[in-house]
Amino acid sequence: MKDIAKFSKIGIRAISIYMITTIMAVTLGLLVANAVKPGEALTAETRQELVQNYKQQADSNISKAQQQKEARPLDALQNIIPDNIVKSASNNINMLQIIFCAIFFGIAMILVPEEKARPVKAFFDSMNDIILKIIDLVMMLAPFGVFALICGLIVEVPNKEVIQALALYAFSVFLGLTLIIVIYLIIIYFYTKKTPLFFLKNMAPVQLLAFSTSSSSATLPVTMERVEDYLGVEEEVSSFVLPMGATVNMDGTSLYLAVAAVFIAQAFGMNLSLEAQLGIVATATLSSIGTAGVPGASVTMLVIILEQAGIPEAGLALIFAVDRPLDMLRTVVNVTGDAAVSMVVAKSVGKLGEPKKKD
């Protein structure tokens, strides 16, 4: 990226589209939950059983959420600046700190003479190629890893009664996630003229990895490779839009937060007012921004939404029995949304070309 003006243009468009798709996802989640009414299928006996069985997990997440609520208003901005960048880079929780340092470093590189910045850029380009090759080698073992993960999930499956009681809730989340992907495909087709088959075929390896790891951050290097080489997005767009999306664009998570909140309210016999549901839209949108791209991180955010809407926090225990497979599915939507937005942004700035490679 050669100048700051172009950098700003791409950033503003990416953030604007990310916010729009997030609000759309939360709204869609509320519509699905209100139409299907999954919470009404849960009996009082099953609700009590779930609350007792998963009380420890619920209390742990409530405690984490309480710590976040006690933070000062400006702490979120202060925490973007890392005390130790090496420590921040060692986990997936502090992605915003890494993005901040990368942007700051990139701006500095733009401002120095090109001949001085060229060796640094060449070094990081080489490191990026090496990391991607390592990931390619690891991906050769991915089918075995997915098989082992599915086996582990099967072993942890709760009793039949619990599965039946939560089936409608799981279906509601799955339906909403499917509708979001359909919307992505429609937007891509009409804006970039790329067919749904083209997009899904080239994103399949990314979606498989996202499903198996439940982490959009862990999937990021593969996402960048597929978007650049197979979808035709130029590197100067993908290298900025995708890392940002892995942290601030969590459409699958946003939809899940909305459906889960309404489900818990319905399970406790509550009818949420329009005002309460608009509050869920606002809170879920803000909560999804900066949610760590690691398995299960969104459950803590759900506690804040439940409290804001006046829904019993103990209801958090109702969703744990099926949360792991749903977490895998919503991660697929998260990374798919990042790729879709990168294509739209690239098209809008004339940086969407033909794929470099084909499967």
Question: Tell me, what's the pLDDT at 292?
Answer: 54
Mean pLDDT of 317-339: 88
Question: Tell me, what's the pLDDT at 55?
Answer: 62
Q: Taking 80 as the threshold, does the pLDDT of residue 189 lie above it?
A: yes
Give the residue with greater pLDDT, 157 vs 179: 179
> pLDDT tens for residues 80-139?
777 777 777 766 566 677 777 877 888 888 888 888 888 888 888 888 778 777 877 776
Q: Which of 289, 288, 132 is nearest to 206 (CA)?
A: 132
Q: Which of 179, 174, 188 is nearest to 227 (CA)?
A: 188
When mean pLDDT is compared over 58-62, 204-208, 285-289, the highest value belongs to 204-208
Contacts of residue 301, defined as CB under 8 A and 6 or more positions apart, other chains included, come to 65, 253, 257, 284, 287, 288, 291
Question: Tell me, what's the pLDDT at 290?
Answer: 57
When mean pLDDT is compared over 127-131, 263-267, 268-272, the highest value belongs to 263-267
Write out the two tokens for 268.
Answer: 């406790």
Give the residue with greater pLDDT, 12 vs 296: 12
Question: Tell me, what's the pLDDT at 339?
Answer: 95
When mean pLDDT is compared over 123-127, 182-186, 355-359, the highest value belongs to 182-186
**Arithmetic mean of pLDDT over the chain:** 80
> pLDDT tens for residues 54-88?
566 666 656 655 555 555 545 556 667 777 777 77
When mean pLDDT is compared over 178-182, 204-208, 217-221, 315-319, the highest value belongs to 178-182
Contacts of residue 90, defined as CB under 8 A and 6 or more positions apart, other chains included, come to none
Question: Tell me, what's the pLDDT at 233?
Answer: 92
Number of H helices, E strands in the chain: 16, 0
Q: Taking 60 as the threshold, does the pLDDT of residue 341 lie above it?
A: yes
Domains of the chain: 4-348 (1.10.3860.10)
Residue 324: CB atoms within 10 Å: 15
What is the C-alpha to C-alpha distance for residues 29 and 21, in angstroms, rounded to an integer? Answer: 12
Question: Tell me, what's the pLDDT at 200?
Answer: 94
Q: Which of 311, 315, 218 is nearest to 270 (CA)?
A: 311
Question: Tell me, what's the pLDDT at 318?
Answer: 80
Residues 145, 212 contacting (CB under 8 angstroms): yes
Q: Taking 70 as the threshold, does the pLDDT of residue 38 lie above it?
A: yes
Question: Tell me, what's the pLDDT at 54?
Answer: 59
Q: Among 39-53, 179-193, 303-317, where is mean pLDDT lowest?
A: 39-53
Question: Tell me, what's the pLDDT at 113?
Answer: 86
Question: Tell me, what's the pLDDT at 85?
Answer: 76
